[in-house]
């Protein structure tokens, strides 16, 4: 039998949100080598200027590409993807996959859509172009919230989600939308709570599975062996007081303990 070495997949986000995308990719490609990197020094990305976003993302990705033989980069962050993809694709000779809010599939099933994203994503012309192209006859309401991103981060280190607070954030959408596009990779981790506060009356759509399909298509579906037992590696850009709780989450997802990138403090 010919053993095919695992491919190295680099997944990047500002925080733990990209793990929702990792889970989908890992399900389709369980034998690959995963490197997960997050820029916690500059979290949240939804509050950054475009130039800072480009600078940080390209610097961190370049650093990891020099440490590992990366085969594909997944920018598992809608906020960064709306801005950094052209620069990254120009600099790298490997495929770079980004995450786009799932407006297109949502418009196929609904005319009353809510786009839940970061404050930056809901302002970007990229998002408006997406709506114009794929949902021209739908009513698309936009809601940008950094607090929701923080709530997802908190959940991933074992804290309870405050349902009252979540309900207040989503109040404008009670009865007004029937489909919500989760346009931030942190939000799939809040799916059950979002459904609960909206009385299960909504369809939630995210881009994770589509991204995983795209990555599989680009890498091919050859059965790989060799180092399939290898754990994934996680890097972040600043020390965190939540290291122990984060490591528990990473362990459950088959990653080794957190390591630190060499990057100046934000």
Q: Which stretch binds ligand DGL (CB under 6 A): 9-17, 51-59, 66-74, 217-225?
A: 9-17
User: According to CB under 6 A, which one of 26, 31, 118, 242 is a site residue for ligand DGL?
Assistant: 118
Q: Is 206 annotated as a binding residue?
A: no
> What span, in angstroms and rounded, lies between the C-alpha atoms of 99 and 152?
18
- CB 24 within 8 Å of CB 196: no
The 3-state secondary structure of 90-120, one letter per residue: HHCCCCEEECCCCHHHHHHHCCEEEEEECCC
Q: Is 145 annotated as a binding residue?
A: no
Report the DSSP beta bridge partners of residue 73: 10, 96
The values of phi and psi at residue 178, to 5°, are -110, -10
Catalytic-role residue among 184, 198, 205, 258: 184
Residues ≥6 apart with Cβ < 8 Å to 2? none
- CB 215 within 8 Å of CB 178: no
Concatenating the DSSP letter of every residue in 216-264 gives: HHHH------SSTTPPBEEEESS--TTHHHHHHHHHHTTBPPPEE----
Q: Which stretch binds ligand DGL (CB under 6 A): 73-81, 133-141, 160-168, 211-219?
A: 73-81
User: According to CB under 6 A, which one of 184, 205, 215, 261 is a site residue for ligand DGL?
Assistant: 184
Q: How far is the CB of 188 from ligand DGL (least distance, A)?
A: 10
Q: Does 116 bind ligand DGL (CB under 6 A)?
A: no
Q: Does 208 bind ligand DGL (CB under 6 A)?
A: no
Q: What is the DSSP letter of 166?
A: H
| Residue 186 or 224 with smaller CB distance to ligand DGL | 186
The interface mask with ligand DGL, positions 147-166, x = CB under 6 A, is --x-----------------
Looking at residues 13 to 42 of the shown chain, list those that interact with ligand DGL (rule: CB under 6 A): 13-15, 17
The values of phi and psi at residue 99, to 5°, are -110, 130
Looking at residues 41 to 60 of the shown chain, list those that interact with ligand DGL (rule: CB under 6 A): 43-46
Catalytic site includes residue 236: no
Catalytic site includes residue 65: no
Give the containing element (helix H, strand E) for 116: strand 112-117
Residue numbers belonging to the annotated binding site: 13-14, 45-46, 78-79, 185-186
Q: Binding residues for ligand DGL, per CB under 6 A?
A: 13-15, 17, 43-46, 77-79, 118, 121, 146, 149, 184-186
Residues acting as catalytic residues: 77, 184
């Amino acid at each position: 039998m010919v053993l095919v070495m695992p491919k190295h997949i680099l997944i990047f986000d500002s925080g733990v949100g990209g793990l929702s995308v990792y889970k989908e990719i890992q399900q389709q490609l369980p034998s690959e080598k995963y490197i997960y990197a997050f820029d916690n020094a500059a979290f949240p990305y939804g509050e950054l200027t475009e130039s800072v976003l480009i600078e940080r993302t390209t610097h961190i990705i370049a650093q990891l590409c020099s440490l590992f033989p990366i085969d594909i980069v997944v920018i598992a962050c809608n906020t960064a993807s709306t801005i950094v993809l052209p620069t990254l694709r120009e600099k790298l000779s490997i495929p770079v996959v980004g995450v786009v809010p799932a407006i297109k599939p949502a418009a196929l099933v609904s005319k009353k859509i809510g786009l839940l994203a970061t404050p930056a994503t809901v302002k970007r012309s990229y998002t408006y172009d997406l709506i114009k192209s794929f949902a021209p006859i739908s009513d698309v309401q936009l809601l940008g919230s950094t607090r929701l991103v923080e709530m997802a981060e908190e959940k991933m280190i074992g804290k309870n989600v405050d349902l009252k607070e979540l309900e207040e954030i989503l109040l404008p959408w009670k009865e007004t939308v029937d489909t919500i596009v989760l346009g931030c990779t942190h939000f799939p981790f809040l799916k059950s709570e979002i459904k609960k506060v909206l009385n299960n009356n909504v369809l939630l759509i995210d881009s994770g599975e589509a991204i995983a399909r795209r990555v599989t298509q680009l890498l091919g579906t050859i059965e790989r062996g060799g180092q399939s037992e290898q754990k994934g590696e996680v890097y972040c850009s600043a020390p965190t007081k939540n290291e122990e709780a984060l490591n528990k989450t990473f362990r459950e997802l088959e990653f080794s303990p957190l390591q630190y990138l060499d990057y100046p403090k934000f």
